[in-house]
Structure 1
Amino acid sequence: MTRRLTTTIESYQLKNGEKRYRFKIYIGLDPLTGNEKRTTRSNFKSQKEAKFALSRIKLEIANGTFQKQTPEKYLDVYYLWIKQYEKTVEESTFVKTSGIFRNHILPAMSDYKIEKINIDVCQKHVDEWSNKLKKFRTVKSYAAKVLDFAIKRGYIQTNPFNHVDMPVALKKKQASTEEKKENFYTREELIEFLNCFEKENNVKAYTLFRLLAFSGMRKGEALALTWKNINFNENEIHINTAISRGKDNQLYVKSTKTGIARTIKMDERTMAILKEWRKKQKLDYFKLGFNTMAANQLVFSNEYNDFLQPTKTRKWIIQIQKKYNLKEVSTHGLRHTHCSLLFEAGAKIKEVQDRLGHSDIQTTMNIYAHVTEKARESAIQKFENYLNI
C-alpha cells in the first residue's frame, strides 16, 4: 500500500515571540534497516512559504530526485563532530576543547555555509587568532577538524584550512620587547623556598611542595595520590592517576597525562616528611570526624576529606613568595626546577624523561638545552674570574 504523503504544517514561536512554521514529512524507507524515514523543515516565516517548500519536496520524492537535507552551516557540522569527538577523549580534554570552540571558533565561524568556506575566510580568522592568542595554532587545528569531518561525511571536497599561510607566533613577535620570565628555581633558591615554607604552620602545604620539588610530578598527579601509592619500605611512589576538571567544573580522577603509569624512587628525607604528615593528618582529620587510615585515603585532601582544589596551591605559593620576598615561580615551575636540577646533578636525558613521565623526549630536551646554556655561561664566568685581568 502506498503511503500518503500529506503532512501537517504547524506554527510555533521563537524566544523573541516571532511566529514560525514547520512540518515533518515521510520520505520513504531506509534501505538498510527498513525503518520509515522522515525529514523536518522549519523556520518558515509564513504558512505560504512552508506550503511551497512542502510541495517542492513532494515533487522531488515523486520524481526520485529528493535528497535528505545535509548540514548547511559550520555550526551544524560542529554539533555532529563534537558528539563523536567526546567519545574519543578524556572528559577534561573535551571540556577544554569545547571551551576553545565556544570562546574563539564558533563566534567567528558559526554562521558560515559549510560549502562557501574558502581559503580567504580561513586565512582571515587565522590572522585574527594569531594577533590575540599565543596558542592560535591549536585553535586553527581544532577549527580544521570540523571541516575534516565534513569531508568524511561528503559535505565538502577539500579543507581550505590546509592551505592558509601561518603567521609568526605571537610569542616570537613579543620576544624583542618582552623578556621571558624564568619559571624555575636554582638550587639555592629552592633551598630558601622550602626553608621559608617549613617555618610556616602549614604542614600539609609544606609536604606537598617538598614532594613536588623532589619528585617532579605534575600537580594533578600529586593531588590524586593515595597512601597506597606510597611505598615507605622501598622509598617509592607509584603514579598512575591525576585529578582534572571535567563537566560542570567538577574534579575527577583520570589517567596520567600520557596515560602511562610510572614508579619513581624518592629520597629518604622527603619520605620521612610524608610519614610525619600521615601521622598529623590522622590526628587533624580525626577531630573533623574522618578516619584517614583507609588505603585509598588521599594524601592531600581538603577539610571535607575530598579533592583539594588545584587553585589552592597557587594561593599558598604566592603567600610565601610575597611574605619572604622570594622569586615568583608557579607550582608547575617546581616540576621544571626538578628537571633542571636533575640535569645539573648529572642525570641522563632518558632517566629524566622516564622520571617525569614525558611522552615526547623533545620536552625533556628543551629543558636540557636551557641547562647546558646556563652551564656555558657559568664556564666563561669561571674562566674570567680565574684570569682576573
Structure 2
Amino acid sequence: MAFQRAKNVFKKQSDQLNIGDFNSHPTFKAVYDTWLETYKETVKEATLNHVLVIFEQHVLPVLGNKQIKKITWQDCQRLVLNWKKEYKTYSKFMSYTSLIFRRAVKLGIIPANPMDLVDIPKKHVDVLDNNKHNYWSLQQLKEFLASVYNEDHDIRYDRITLFYLLATTGMRKGEALALTWNDVDLQQHLVSINKTVSRSLHNKQIIATPKTINAYRTLALDKATSKSINEYKKSLPKIPKATDFIFQNAAGNMMSLMTPNHWLAHFIKETGLPKISVHGLRHTFASVQVTNKINPKAVQMQLGHADAEITLDVYTHMERDQVSADVLDIGSLI
C-alpha cells in the first residue's frame, strides 16, 4: 500500500519534470522536496521526524540553495570531513544526502551521484577506550540491581520493576513504557510486546507499532521480575485497569522517555558504575547471553531484531514460541 502510494508520487514528479514544472537548474532543496514527498509515505512518523532533523540541521543549510548540477564530489568530500569532526553519526548524514543525489540521477538532472566518489574516513579505534562499551558485566549488573532494590529511602517499585524488566528480558525502553497491564500474564510469567512509545513529527510522545515485524513477541519473565511486577501492582493506591500503562507519570499518563534516563543516571552516580545508557541494559542482556553460549538465534528472536544485529544469524530452525525456554534466565544469576 505504502509502496504503491510512493510509486504514484514518483510518477507524478517525473511527469511534472517532463512537462517543465522543474526548471533546468534545480537546487538541491528542490530535488530534496520531491524525494521527501515520496519518502514520507514509506516510513513511520518517528523515523521521518529523525530524518527531517538531519536534513534541516545538517544538510540543507549547506547544500539547500546550491544548484544540484554544480555540487561536485569534492564539495561532498569536504562536507563529510566537516561532519566527521563534529558528529559521531556523520555516516547517517552522508547516506541520507546520497539519497537526494540518487533521486536527481533518476530524474535525469545529473549523470552520477557525487557521494559515490567520496572516501569514507576510517574510524580510529582505541583499544584502551572502554567508554565506547555501552554495556555492563554480569557482576556490574548485579551491583546495579541491588542498588535499585535497596534504596535508603522509600522503595520505588516502579523503578525496580522497570529496570528488572529491561535487564532480564532485553526489551527496548519504548517497549517497556508502552506496556499495559493486560500485556502481562503473571500466572504464566509472560509479557507480550505489541507496541512501543515513539515520537511524532512534533516531538510528542505517541504509541506506535513495534519497530519491525520481529519485534512483536512474547517473552518469559523470571521469578525475580514477576515478583517485582506483582509487588509494584500491590503497592498502587488503586487496582489498575487492564488498559492502564504499567509505568506512568505523576499525572497517571504515559511516562516520559526521559524519566528512565534520569533514574539510571542517579543510580550510576550512587554506585560509581561505568556510564551506560538505558539501551545499554539491552546490550548487557545480549552480552550475558552470548557469553554463556546461548543459541544466537534465540537471543536474536528474544531481542526482536529484524536480522542478526548483535547475534550471529546461524540457526533458522527454531520456532518463535521456543525462545522463552532457550534464552538464559538472568534472574537465576543475580
Offset, 1:324: 3.2
The 2-side partners of 1:127 and 1:190 are apart by 38
Q: Deviations over 1:184-239 (max 9, x none)?
A: 22222222211111122211111100111111101111001111111222211111
1:1-389 equivalent positions in 2, closer than 5 A: 67-70=20-23, 72-169=26-123, 172=124, 175=126, 178-200=129-151, 201-260=155-214, 261-281=216-236, 283=237, 286=238, 293-365=240-312
**CA-atom RMSD, angstroms?**
2.3
The 1-side partners of 2:184 and 2:83 are apart by 45
Q: Could you say if the C-alpha distance between residues 181 and 151 of structure 1 is closer, same or farther in structure 2, counting changes exceeding 3 Å? A: closer
Q: Could you say if the C-alpha distance between residues 177 and 127 of structure 1 is closer, same or farther in structure 2, counting changes exceeding 3 Å? A: farther
Identity of aligned residues (%): 32
Secondary structure of 2:202 counterpart: helix
Offset, 1:152: 2.5
Q: Matched residue pairs, number?
A: 292
Q: What are the ranges of 5 or more consecutive residues in structure 2 without an aligned counterpart?
A: 1-15, 314-334
- Which has the larger share of strand? 1
Secondary structure of 1:360 counterpart: coil
Q: Which has the higher contact order (CA 8 A, sep 6+)?
A: 2
Q: Deviations over 1:73-101 (max 9, x none)?
A: 11121122222211111111011101111
Q: Could you say if the C-alpha distance between residues 233 and 124 of structure 1 is closer, same or farther in structure 2, counting changes exceeding 3 Å? A: same
Secondary structure of 2:182 counterpart: helix
Q: What are the ranges of 5 or more consecutive residues in structure 1 without an aligned counterpart?
A: 1-37, 39-65, 287-291, 367-389
Which protein has the larger Cα radius of gyration, Structure 1 or Structure 2? 1
The 2-side partners of 1:177 and 1:185 are apart by 16
TM-score normalised by length of structure 1? 0.70
The 2-side partners of 1:254 and 1:268 are apart by 29
The answer to whether the 8 A contact 1:358-1:364 is kept is no
The 1-side partners of 2:251 and 2:199 are apart by 18
Secondary structure of 1:244 counterpart: strand
Q: Could you say if the C-alpha distance between residues 177 and 116 of structure 1 is closer, same or farther in structure 2, counting changes exceeding 3 Å? A: farther
The 1-side partners of 2:248 and 2:199 are apart by 16
Q: Could you say if the C-alpha distance between residues 137 and 327 of structure 1 is closer, same or farther in structure 2, counting changes exceeding 3 Å? A: closer
The answer to whether the 8 A contact 1:339-1:352 is kept is yes
Letter matched to residue 324 of structure 1 = T
Letter matched to residue 227 of structure 2 = A
The 1-side partners of 2:228 and 2:35 are apart by 49
Q: Deviations over 1:237-266 (max 9, x none)?
A: 111211112222200111222233111112
Offset, 1:67: 4.0
TM-score normalised by length of structure 2? 0.81
